[in-house]
Structure 1
């Protein structure tokens, strides 16, 4: 082979070996693969999935659905947090990130392939129920955001109506006092304002003075009418003159003189002049008191207006921002009055609930895949292998226990034999010593007898 051909073949061999053999660079690239990252959100085993590579696209798409659901949940939490805080703040990022990670991990747990899943209906229904409830929770802030304009208009109108009702109750429960003792209308316990001074006493005095003035006015009018009648009679009678026969002069009639005396007597007995002076004085006092009362009422009205404005300002301070519960109540109120809006709200809610439950629906409504069957087979095989390993371990442990028991029993038998042998040796030694002692004693007795 020519050197050029050998170099070409060797370079091709090196290229193939670099391409086919795993390297740290290829492992790092595989870990950074976006599709692999998406599949990680479904909880699949890449080594097992590699055996059915044609299903990778399916789990990649499912991972995208899980990621999209978590992004929608994060947007929902962002809206909820900003509405709760009343403004856009960086503090809203904290619950948004936490909620996104929670939904991401929860959806990952819901769609993670489980062995023998088709045989267990209970866990499937439980997962679907969790997904639907979670979707309802996530959907509500998004629905509030979509209908934010109508909700804010309704809340603003309700707040204005509440302020108007409060103003009306404050005006009704704090009328201008017309007497010293005044009683508040019914249901005014928390609407009564406190004032330093009220025109009630002056009103009472003015009312009394007006009553007395009206009574005196009637009396004066009655006396004046009587005097007018008497005056007319005097004038009519005094127009006539009679001629005195003795003197030939003309003079008033005696009836004229009598009527004049009667008129004078009436003025004296009924004190018409004094009554008129008293009435004029009363009118002067009434005019003065009315002026003071008008000033006092003006002061009272200003104090009442200031007190009402303070209460309204305090109520407005409580209505700084529109809360979440207030928005939800306003949205329900709008839905109850408009059938089209009611249908639109629930369609939007159903849409977001469906979107949030989509990972579980896609997973469990797409049918059992080859990966699921392989996972079930491997799981069952692993269970069997584990059972055999447990039984083998149990047998080994029982064998070790039996061997240990046999060794202990042998040790006991050996110790017992050694103990018996030692006892026999001791008995023999004692017997030998005894015989030696007896023999020695016999010898001494013989020696003593021979002597």
Structure 2
């Protein structure tokens, strides 16, 4: 089929000539943005020239694939921009990642060209890959969108971490130098080795106080016994009736005996020495208390300084917030704020849909004329390849048969030549032998 186009000659405007151009294939277009987009979609332009009406369709499909690559590049740019990465490495890395995603999506689409339809299994597999890629692309963009709130949340988390660390240090390292009242969680990490602790003085004071308690108990026992004996002697002397008492008034033998026993007990009980020991222990406790007061003041300042230095060191050891820190902070924000959670999932869903859109579009669309042409061309190419291989195989087998026959012929010729040479050599040998016999016979006849 052809179409007739009227073209006015430039040489003579009054002359009209007829020029016939083929209707199909259409005039090729190998430039412009549409052509580049179709290359991204993975179409064969030589086949598409037969159905130029579908060029726009595949240009739009290529634009969809390009969008996913651009979103991936933007995602990587946002991710790297949140870290201490040289600016010279940002754009190449982002473009490389976008190219990887674009290439992968292009493969997902190109693989469906020429088929009459996409099976459910293939569609679900490609859709799952697209969803996975969409989620990977979405997360950095989410972090970039909420970057201000994310870094604020990270700051709060780190402040809470440092406050908890500081409070644990204070609990495990009392300023008084005494053992912590609650030692749970006081591992080696939280116990500070600060010199000048009043702990030995506190232990000495505790030992002195324990000794004072013992001396007081011993003195109390002596005083109780002295009082008991004095009361018993007084009752005997006063004539009080009772068990072990005579009931007679006056200083009788029993009265004097009880008083004497009381005096002997007082003399043997070392009550004055015990009192001196008690006074000495009280003096020692007072002296240690004064030393503790002096030592505690300096130790409390040293512990406070050590705690501050430990907290400062831990704060300095905290690295620049990484990807995991940002993801954790974003998750906390989503748990605290319904709006953040809703926006996060909406953006994820949007990017997943964008990345899966080429596959979904291909699934929902009817097979195009281009698909049919490509399918037929692939079928014809398969047949041509099969026929070509068969032709080459037959030719190679024929050549091999001829070569075998030539080889067999050459072998026969060489064998015949060798046999002929053998026969000639045998005839020469026989002739020589006959000549020798004749010569010998002639000599014999001459001699006789």
TM-score (norm: length of structure 1): 0.72
Q: CA deviation at 1:396?
A: 0.9
Q: For structure 1, list consecutive stretches of 5 or more residues without a partner in the other structure.
A: 18-25, 224-268
Question: Deviations for 1:128-175, whole angstroms, at most 9, x for unmatched residues?
Answer: 322221111111111222333443343332222212211111111101
Q: Counterpart of 2:50 in 1: which secondary structure?
A: helix
Aligned position for 1:378: 377
Question: Aligned equivalents of 1:206 and 1:13: distance in 2?
Answer: 128
Question: Deviations for 1:225-281, whole angstroms, at most 9, x for unmatched residues?
Answer: xxxxxxxxxxxxxxxxxxxxxxxxxxxxxxxxxxxxxxxxxxxx9999xx99x97x9
8 Å CA contact retained: 2:112, 2:118: no
Q: For structure 2, list consecutive stretches of 5 or more residues without a partner in the other structure.
A: 1-7, 21-26, 224-266
Residues 185-224 of structure 1: pairs in structure 2 closer than 5 A:
185-189=183-187, 190-205=189-204
Q: Output the aligned Cα RMSD.
A: 4.1
Question: Aligned equivalents of 2:445 and 2:210: distance in 1?
Answer: 171
> More displaced, 112-121 or 322-331?
112-121
> More displaced, 400-409 or 299-308?
299-308
Q: 1:201 to 1:441 in 2, by over 3 A?
A: closer
8 Å CA contact retained: 1:113, 1:372: no
Question: Aligned equivalents of 1:64 and 1:394: distance in 2?
Answer: 46
Question: Aligned equivalents of 1:7 and 1:52: distance in 2?
Answer: 32
8 Å CA contact retained: 1:206, 1:290: yes
Q: 1:50 to 1:350 in 2, by over 3 A?
A: same
Aligned position for 1:135: 134
Question: Deviations for 1:301-353, whole angstroms, at most 9, x for unmatched residues?
Answer: 22122111122112222335322111212333344455665444323212211
Aligned position for 1:161: 160
Q: Counterpart of 1:38 in 2: which secondary structure?
A: helix
Aligned position for 2:419: 420
Question: Aligned equivalents of 1:52 and 1:417: distance in 2?
Answer: 70
Residues 382-401 of structure 1: pairs in structure 2 closer than 5 A:
382-401=381-400
8 Å CA contact retained: 1:178, 1:204: no
Q: 1:178 to 1:56 in 2, by over 3 A?
A: closer
Question: Aligned equivalents of 1:378 and 1:186: distance in 2?
Answer: 78
Q: Which has the higher helix share?
A: 1
Matched, 1:8 2:11: yes
Moved over 6 A (4+): 10-14, 181-184, 208-216, 269-272, 281-288
Question: Aligned equivalents of 2:331 and 2:38: distance in 1?
Answer: 40
Aligned position for 2:321: 322
8 Å CA contact retained: 2:201, 2:288: yes
Question: Aligned equivalents of 1:324 and 1:405: distance in 2?
Answer: 73
TM-score (norm: length of structure 2): 0.72
Aligned position for 1:237: none
Greater length-normalized contact order (CA 8 Å, ≥ 6 residues apart): 1
Q: 1:291 to 1:162 in 2, by over 3 A?
A: same
Aligned position for 1:250: none
Q: 1:86 to 1:418 in 2, by over 3 A?
A: closer
